[in-house]
């Protein structure tokens, strides 16, 4: 049994890390081979999914910690009889319940989870069955499970804005790499950065928790940087808020950002990167608004107004150096 559980964990972590369709297909094919595989895979995923705790996130006053109730870890694991494909699905649901969390593998196999993704340089808006909108930025993906008691969204990678349709009976929960954001009817943006999860509340209010942190209630016009159980909340001026969500209008805006930061933003949408070839210009301060699909306009602005020379590469990359 240990070997089966190890393989289940390996397949799940591989698929979760790559978010590649072929890796998920490989995992699901392995699950279908044997009932024991299904049980082990549900356990592996449940170790990462903490959806059994999502209902604890309250929504109330602004920017205040709230006590976190204790959570029963659930009953001990028990053997589950599984027969055929239908039995496999029933068994997976029972297995997930027996360990105190709802593993989404059951929902995926039942076809109740929808996955949406964007390619590099692509943005997309998806209207969910409840009327909510999910705006996906470049190279992003989400999983959506709309149930009778909860609307569960997992941001697998990238960035997304959520315009949440009001439904007090079904909280809207976004899980972004362990950061849980609960909303009822609001609008917020979540970005998975390399070092932190970045939350921007555009309208309304959300409740946030990460790891063992206390719940924070965050209102509109505020942002949170979340990492390792810490939630750092800051106020955003209107101009900064506009800059944060400019991508939803096909734009990128800079206001005193360094050249290194600006290049990093544009490279999120380019298959062939811009590269700073001279460290001396990396700290140049940049301002202006540019279309995401016209990085050449940004390069021309650098050459005409910032003393930067652009050298094109044969692979469509661009090397930026000092013009002097």
Same-domain check for residues 221 and 127: yes
pLDDT of residue 89: 45
| C-alpha neighbours within 13 Å on the C-beta side of residue 284 | 20
* Whether residue 193 sits in one domain with residue 144: yes
Residue 67 inside a domain? The answer is no
Lowest-confidence region among 56-60, 250-254, 310-314: 56-60
Q: State the pTM of this model.
A: 0.71
161 and 100 together in one domain: no
The tally of domains found in the chain comes to 3
- 315 part of a folded domain: yes
- Is residue 221 one of the residues assigned to a domain? yes
Claim to verify: residue 201 and residue 265 sit in the same structural domain = no
Same domain, 143 and 228: yes
- Is residue 180 scored above 60 in pLDDT? yes
Residue 117, H or E segment: strand 113-117
Of 189, 219, 248, which one is at a domain's C-terminal end?
A: 248
Q: Beta strands 318-322 and 274-276: pairing type?
A: parallel
Residue 65 domain-assigned (yes or no): no
Same domain, 13 and 76: yes
Q: What would the mean pLDDT of 213-225 be, rounded to a whole number? A: 92
> Which tens digits make up the pLDDT trace of 93-110?
444 444 333 344 544 544
Residues 159 and 47 in one domain: no
The answer to whether residues 39 and 18 belong to one domain is yes
- What pLDDT is attached to residue 78? 33
Look at residue 11 and tell me if it is in a domain. Answer: yes
* pLDDT tens-digit map of 15-27: 877 877 788 778 8
Q: Is residue 66 part of a domain?
A: no
Q: Which of 249, 37, 47 is nearest to 137 (CA)?
A: 249
Q: Which helix (H) or strand (E) holds 269?
A: none
pLDDT at 76 over 50: no
> What does the mean pLDDT of the chain come to?
81
Find how far residue 179's CA is from the centre of its chain: 9
Residue 138 belongs to a domain with what CATH number? 2.60.120.1440
Band (309; pLDDT cuts 50, 70, 90):
very high
pLDDT over 60 at 86, yes or no: no
CB 183 within 8 Å of CB 171: yes
pLDDT, average across residues 276-303: 94
Query: Buried b / exposed e across 146-183, counting CB within 10 Å, b at 16+?
Result: beeebbbbbbbbbbbbbbbbeeeebbbbbbbbebbbbb
Could you tell me if residue 289 is inside a domain?
Answer: yes
Based on the number of CB atoms within 10 Å of its own CB, is 197 exposed (0-12), middle (13-18) or buried (19 or more)?
A: buried
Is 239 in the same domain as 278? no
> Of 32-41, 73-82, 139-148, 285-294, where does mean pLDDT reach its minimum?
73-82
Instruction: Assess if residue 77 is contained within a domain.
Output: yes
Residues 134, 235, single domain; the answer is: yes
Range of the domain at 297: 250-322
136 alpha-carbon distance from chain centroid: 10
235 and 264 inside one domain: no
């Amino acid at each position: 049994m240990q070997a089966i559980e190890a393989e289940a964990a390996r397949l799940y972590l591989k698929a979760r890390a790559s978010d590649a369709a072929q890796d998920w297909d490989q995992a699901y094919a392995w699950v279908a081979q044997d009932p024991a595989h299904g049980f082990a895979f549900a356990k592996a995923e449940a170790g990462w999914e903490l959806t059994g705790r999502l209902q604890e996130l309250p929504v109330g006053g602004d920017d205040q910690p709230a006590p976190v109730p204790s959570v029963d870890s659930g009953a001990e694991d028990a053997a589950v009889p599984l027969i055929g494909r239908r039995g496999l699905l029933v068994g997976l649901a029972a297995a997930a319940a027996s360990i105190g969390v709802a593993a989404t593998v059951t929902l995926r196999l039942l076809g109740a989870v929808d996955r949406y993704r964007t390619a590099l340089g692509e943005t997309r808006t998806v209207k969910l069955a409840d009327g909510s909108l999910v705006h996906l930025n470049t190279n992003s993906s989400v999983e959506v499970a709309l149930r009778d008691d909860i609307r569960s969204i997992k941001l697998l990678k990238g960035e997304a804005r959520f315009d949440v349709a009001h439904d007090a009976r079904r909280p809207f929960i976004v899980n972004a790499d362990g950061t849980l954001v609960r909303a009822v009817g609001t609008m917020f943006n979540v970005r998975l950065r390399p070092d932190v999860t970045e939350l921007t509340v555009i309208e309304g209010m959300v409740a946030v928790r990460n790891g063992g942190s206390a719940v924070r209630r965050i209102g509109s016009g505020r942002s949170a940087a979340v990492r390792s159980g810490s939630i750092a909340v800051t106020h955003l001026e209107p101009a900064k808020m506009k800059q944060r969500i400019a991508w939803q209008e096909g734009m990128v805006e800079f206001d005193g950002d360094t050249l290194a930061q600006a290049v990093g933003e544009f490279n999120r949408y380019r298959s062939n990167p811009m590269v700073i070839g001279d460290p001396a210009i990396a700290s140049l301060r940049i301002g202006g608004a540019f279309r995401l699909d016209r990085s050449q306009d940004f390069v021309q602005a650098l050459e005409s107004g910032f003393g930067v020379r652009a050298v094109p590469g044969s692979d469509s990359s661009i090397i930026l150096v000092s013009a002097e």
